[in-house]
Amino acid sequence: MVNFLFSALLVSAAFEPIGLWYLALVGYALFFRGLSKSKRPVLASFVFGAILNGIVLHWSSKYVGALPWLLLTLLQASFYLPVGWVYRRTSSLRWVLLTFLICEELRARFPFGGFAWTRIAFSQVESPLLPLVSIGGVLLLSFSTLLSALALTRLKVRALTLVAVGFLIVNFLPNNPTAPEKISLIAIQGNTPSVGLEFNSRAKAVFYLHRDTTRKLVNQKYDAVVWPENAIDIDPRNYPEVLADIKTVVKEIDTPLIAGVVLTEQGSPANASVMYDKSGAVQSTYIKRYLTPFGEYMPLRRIAEIVSPYAKSVNDFKPGQGFVSHEIGGYQVAPIICYEIIHDGLVRESANQSGAIIVQTNSATFANTAESAQQLAITRIRAVEHSREILSVSTVGISAFIDNNGAVTSQTTENISTSISGDLKISIYQTLSDRLGAVAPLLVLFASLIFAIGIRRKVSR
């Protein structure tokens, strides 16, 4: 089992905050080689998955304790069991590759809407293969990474040459096109009074920090000021003094404000992105649709409350019912709230109906962990996948401007009150991945199936 421990350690180092993408290829190559020699491939696959996910997701334990993290790790590791089972039945690493991809797609959907945080592709933000996401989506990047790792296991000139040629071809793919139209934005990273689950324990404290930081740092005209998720931690409609402050601020800076707001909808909290115009009137409201299980709603509540004392403090949020964009400078910009960035279909819909994307997140819940860096990597991959420039703004960092080729053009440090400003170029270009839509992963799975069964065309002479 030492081989699987070492291979999992290598793959985990491909994810942020270490981010050495090539270690995923080496790690999976070692995993494949070890699997081919293992007498207990099912157990070996489970151990590999448990160690990998345990390391990458360790940030989830910092404020809620070890038991929820352990359960999450075991749940994620269970999706690796079919990998070992398929190898035991077929003795074929090609079928293992296909099984990996199928399990990755299932893990992104089940249970509780899925948790796709440790998808293979999300370790490849610096890889030369990254442009492939604009062709076939995240699953194509995962497939290409595993295929490269499989070639490494053979250590044959032909296989390694094909991988090298493939890397070169991908690097000659044209960059995503940009347009001359752009909007100017300033993001306010106002910080929080404390971090962890109690980041907003004092009502209005987070709001006041963002209000004061805005007054201090916004000293020129922008098309919009952007605050992160939960920056307004109470419903302004129920607190006249907060609404009055919002109106005062936007009038002072003479700029619309897009803020993360906790609204009350039919007696339940709702996680929203609200745009206030220059007078302080609400121009548009988007309510988060893809809620975080165990964070914004509590599945299996009775069991969860036994597992963790924090479960009782989780109120079930009300999900939004549809896409809403904000109009900034005459262009449609899509808001995406935190956890939604891992949902393939939601991000694709947002990109297809807008010219740029704003990701509003609250990293205070997992401050001083790898979570923020990992989310930024996922966001960078989405920028390439959909050819959209993105502003990601966090309460405590990392906040960043990202171009449509995945490069971070500017970013903040963590745990300080600061701002970051720049332009987002507007694009109406649709990548091949976007045009294929939900068909893209099916095509990737079909290609992997063809590779697995090894179809060869007979040539008649």
Asked if 45 contacts 35 with a C-beta cutoff of 8 angstroms, the reply is yes
Token readout for 23 is 């270690």
| Whether 94 and 191 share a structural domain | no
CB atoms < 10 A from the CB of 244, how many? 12
* Pairing of the two strands 400-402 and 418-425: unpaired
Q: Mean pLDDT, the chain, as a whole number? A: 91
Encoding tokens for residue 77? 């590791």
Asked whether residue 158 falls in the same domain as residue 208, the answer is: no
Report whether 285 contacts 327 (CB < 8 A). Answer: no
Same domain for 387 and 340 = yes
Torsion angle in degrees (nearest 10) through CA of 378, 384, 389, 394: 10
Q: Residue 105 has which token pair? A: 């797609």
Query: Are 132 and 109 part of one and the same domain?
Result: yes
- Check whether residue 72 and residue 146 sit in a common domain: yes
For the beta carbon of residue 67, count every other beta carbon within 10 angstroms.
Answer: 11
460 found inside a domain: no
| Secondary structure class of 130 (helix, strand, coil) | helix
The pLDDT assigned to 457 comes to 46
Residues 6+ apart with CB under 8 A from 193: 199, 201, 202, 205, 206, 209
Q: Is 80 exceeded by the pLDDT of residue 329? A: yes
pLDDT at 195: 64
DSSP 351-417: HHT-SEEEEEE-GGGGTTSSHHHHHHHHHHHHHHHHT--EEEEESSS--EEE-TTS-EEEEPPSSS-
Q: Are residues 149 and 240 in the same domain?
A: no
Statement to judge: residues 269 and 223 lie in one domain: yes
Predicted local confidence at residue 370, as pLDDT: 95
Q: How would DSSP label each residue in 2-64?
A: HHHHHHHHHHHTTSTTT--THHHHHHHHHHHHHHHH-S-HHHHHHHHHHHHHHHHTGGGGTTT
Number of structural domains (the chain) is 2
Q: With respect to residue 287, please indicate whether it lies within any of the assigned structural domains.
A: yes
Mean per-residue pLDDT, 360-383 = 94
pTM: predicted TM-score of the whole model, two decimal places: 0.93
Q: Is the pLDDT of residue 203 over 80?
A: no
- Residue 238, domain extent: 182-430
Q: Has residue 390 got a pLDDT over 90?
A: yes
Angle at 411 between CA 409 and CA 417, to 5 degrees: 150
- The Cα 187–Cα 101 span in angstroms is 37
Decide: 340 and 347 in contact? Cβ < 8 Å. yes
Does 36 reside within a domain?
Answer: yes
Domain match, 143 and 207 both? no
Task: Assign 218 to helix, strand or coil.
Answer: coil
High-pLDDT (> 90) share of the chain, %: 77
| Low-confidence winner among 198-212, 372-386, 394-408 (lowest mean pLDDT) | 198-212
Do 135 and 200 belong together in one domain? no
CA dihedral (301, 304, 308, 310) positive or negative: negative
pLDDT, average across residues 219-224: 95
Q: What is the pLDDT of residue 156?
A: 64
For residue 302, give both structure tokens: 């009775």
- Domain-located, residue 30: yes
Whether the per-residue pLDDT at 455 is higher than 80: the answer is no
Higher pLDDT, 310 or 403: 403
- The domain that holds 239 is classified in CATH as 3.60.110.10
Residue 389 maps to a domain:
yes
Q: Do 137 and 231 share a domain, yes or no?
A: no
- Contact, 140 vs 130, CB < 8 A? no
**Per-residue pLDDT tens for 76-129?**
999 999 999 999 999 999 999 999 999 999 999 999 999 999 999 999 999 999
Question: pLDDT tens digits, residue range 178-187?
Answer: 778 999 999 9
Q: Is 459 within the bounds of a domain?
A: no
pLDDT at residue 204 in the model:
87
Q: What CA–CA distance (Å, rounded) separates 323 from 336?
A: 10
**Share of residues in the chain with pLDDT > 70 (%):** 93
Name the H helices within 272-370.
Answer: 301-307, 344-352
pLDDT at 196 over 80: no
Would 366 be classed as within a structural domain? Answer: yes
What are the Cα distances from residue 283, in Å, to 31, 123, 410?
53, 38, 28
Number of H helices and E strands in the chain, helices first, is 15, 12
**Residue 128 identity (one-letter amino acid):** P
Residue 459 has pLDDT above 90, yes or no: no
- Same-domain check for residues 98 and 244: no
* Secondary structure letter of residue 215 according to DSSP: H
One domain for residues 109 and 203? no
The C-alpha angle 267, 271, 274, rounded to 5 degrees, equals 110
What would the mean pLDDT of 190-207 be, rounded to a whole number?
A: 72
Measured in residues, the chain has a length of 461
In a domain, 461, yes or no: no
Is residue 68 within 8 A of residue 298, CB to CB? The reply is no
Q: Answer whether 236's CB lies under 8 Å from 227's CB.
A: no
pLDDT for the residue numbered 367: 84
Pairwise pLDDT comparison (347 vs 267), residue with the higher score: 347
